[in-house]
Amino acid sequence: MVKKVNNPLKIDFQKCIIEGRLQQILPKHITSEPELINIWTIDINPQDSKYFIAFIRRNIKETDPISLLHLKRIQKNPNDKSLLKLILCSVEYIADREDIIKLLESIEKKTPNGNVEKIQYTNLNKDLKVPKEPPITRELINEWSKKFWPMVWNGNPNDQILNDYIIDMDSIRGKLDIISKQSQSLAKSNEIPVVSLFVNPLDPLNHILSIDQRNSTSGCQLDHSIMNGIKKVAEDEVKRRKLEQEAKESNNYREKTYLCLNFDVYTTHEPCSMCSMALIHSRIKRLIFIKPMEVTGSLRPESGHGYCMHANKNLNSKYEVFQWIGDEYPVGSVENYTCC
Amino acid sequence: MMTLDTPSSSSSSSSSLLISRKDAHIVMGYLHYERMKLAIKLARYALDHNETPVACIFIHEPTNSVIAYGLNATNHSLTGVAHAEFMGIEQIKNLVGPHHLMDFFKDVVLYVTVEPCIMCASALKQLNIKKVVFGCANERFGGNGTVLHINKDKALLNAPSLPKAESASYEAIPGILRKEAIMLLRYFYVRENKSAVTPRNKAERNLDKETFPDLIWSTYIDRETFIQEFGSAQSIHYENNSDLMSFNDDIDWSLIETPWDDIVEDLNEKCQSFNMIQRKKSKLETV
């Protein structure tokens, strides 16, 4: 992880554009409407807060599956100014009241006269709802802090995501050049000019190129370039494993390819709902497309029904998506109702 | 061969069959269960062959014939997209040819043990399928209501290959042999999937035979569609988010605890006999 100022890539953090060419594609709604979760809170005496903070640092911070770092852990109890209200952990981490009570019983403190005694607290409950994730603007953090619970501003969390992307611009340009040329040549011969290219991180030099085959003699309505590419990856892997088994003495073993795990995929047109979901099933790492599809596209929030399939929080996995917004790589055109 | 009108057909045709609307619903319900039983047996077969127990059969509605079947093959095929539905689609492609799929699919109803995922729901829509009937919800990936409503979206509204009024949207009816479908998945998930990236947690390895989530009908179909499908006598289940009772008062344990070794052979025979009818028909047409 490099510091923002040392990143050799030029990143527009406002517009989420890398090197003036790669537009990060993100759902819009996650930024303005918080997803709320319940947390356990208790009321404590101000002089005991240091014991609780130490306890949380030791036993909860690292293990709670929900990061609560965007929330202020302690604030004045609005109903009783002599007490503090403290966030213990997420309800997802510990669901049962008995378990929480047992945990709190393990906190001890030394009294001035040297005795060890149990610590006191009141009002244990899980009624408080707070945003699961921090918002991306300072304005929103102020709004949410008033509405739910005081929050800490650590900058737009997406800035860190943008900064952490590993991007090889030359390699990306090379791949886009390949699919762009292929697409144009298909367009000239009146074929559907949708092209995809799959890059296996275990074998990056042997990329797999696939085209739309729905109009070919044996192809059907569903033979989109991405579906064909996914099938080709599997066929190649079956062949490779067979060869590897036959030539046991050879020394070019490599790790097995699992689905399309961590693949980079390049495609000329924004994929439809079938293909964008197929890429979720295939566990790819990143997709870069060139041409948005207003009606059938399933990645941009502005396309189709705004599914943003690659970043849907209801699905168990995600992939990175960028749109190439330069005009260096022209592609053949398709009708706007075509599912790609 | 038995031919039956769907309950939604015009009154003139149902009166010609001399069955009342109420009876028609019972017959339709019976048909749903009989067809889904085949899919459940096939899912059990998949389970016995180390695959996710999700299976489907495709019915040609005008002739009430099984025309294709599918079971999940993601482990064997090394792809994440070899879902049951795609295997059946491939069979139908071989049956009618790749370029007549959409015209054929407008008469096809799919019976699948688990709600189609978003990918499959989209594929079925692009093929212009008539209807989908499923057992249990697909909590993680469901594309017919649970996560997204792909079957009702408007992404294909302007496609010239489709009749405008229909725009490829289809109804997806949940709840047929739902608990049996859930139990098969539970049998599968108590085993460990060694090829998956993340190991499962311990809590998921206990087999629960007692509790089932509610069936929230309104997530999938509106009240009108429910009544059209099952009749108003059943509508209490729509309000109560409960399972239909007429055909499975309790879980049909024998259905899911028997290994159905002959089911593939049985389905192959069914598909072949439809294939022969098709050929005879097309011969007659050319004469």
pLDDT at B2 over 50: no
pLDDT at residue number B4: 43
pLDDT at B193 over 90: no
pLDDT at residue number A122: 92
Contact (CB, 8 A) for B110 and B85:
yes
| Residues contacting B20, CB < 8 A, separation 6+ | none
B148–A316: do the CB atoms touch at under 8 Å? no
CATH assignment of the domain containing B137:
3.40.140.10
Q: Where are the domains of chain A?
A: 36-132, 168-324
Angle at A197 between CA B77 and CA B125, to 5 degrees: 60
Identify from A198, A210, A218, A220 which residue to disrupt to test chain B contact, counting B C-beta atoms within 10 A and taking the largest count. Answer: A220
- Establish if B226 belongs to a structural domain: no
**To which H or E segment does residue B135 belong?**
strand B131-136
Check the CA dihedral B221-B225-B227-B228 and report its sign.
negative
Measured distance CA(B157)–CA(B135) in Å, rounded: 28
- Establish if B146 belongs to a structural domain: yes
* B113-137 pLDDT per residue, tens: 999 999 999 999 999 999 999 999 9
Fold assignment, A168-324: Cytidine Deaminase; domain 2 (3.40.140)
- Stretches in chain A below the pLDDT threshold 70: 1-2, 29-31, 248-252
- Establish if B159 belongs to a structural domain: yes
B143–A277: do the CB atoms touch at under 8 Å? yes
pLDDT at residue number A250: 61
pLDDT at residue number B10: 42
B155–A305: do the CB atoms touch at under 8 Å? yes
For residue B79, the distance in angstroms to the closest alpha carbon of chain A comes to: 5
- Is any Cβ of chain A less than 8 angstroms from the Cβ of B194? no
Which token pair is B95? 């049956």
- Is any Cβ of chain A less than 8 angstroms from the Cβ of B164? no
Identify from B74, B119, B198 which residue to disrupt to test chain A contact, counting A C-beta atoms within 10 A and taking the largest count. Answer: B119
Interface predicted TM-score (ipTM):
0.87
Looking at chain A, which residue has its C-alpha nearest residue B77?
A: A234
B89–A230: do the CB atoms touch at under 8 Å? no
- Establish if B260 belongs to a structural domain: yes
| Residues contacting B205, CB < 8 A, separation 6+ | B189, B190, B192
**To which H or E segment does residue B5 belong?**
none
- Phi, psi dihedral angles at B68 (to 5 degrees): -165, 165
In the DSSP assignment, the letter for residue A257 is: P
Number of domains observed in the structure of chain B: 1
Looking at chain B, which residue has its C-alpha nearest residue A281?
A: B80
User: Which residues on chain B are in Cβ contact (under 8 Å) with A217?
Assistant: 98
Q: Domain residues for B164? A: 21-192+206-215+250-286
DSSP string for B93-151: HHHH-GGGHHHHHTTEEEEEEE--BHHHHHHHHHTT-SEEEEEE--TTTBTBTTS-BGG
Measured distance CA(B275)–CA(B266) in Å, rounded: 14
Catalytic sites of B, residue numbers: 85
* B205-261 pLDDT per residue, tens: 578 888 999 999 999 999 999 999 999 989 999 999 999 875 556 899 999 999 999
- Establish if B231 belongs to a structural domain: no
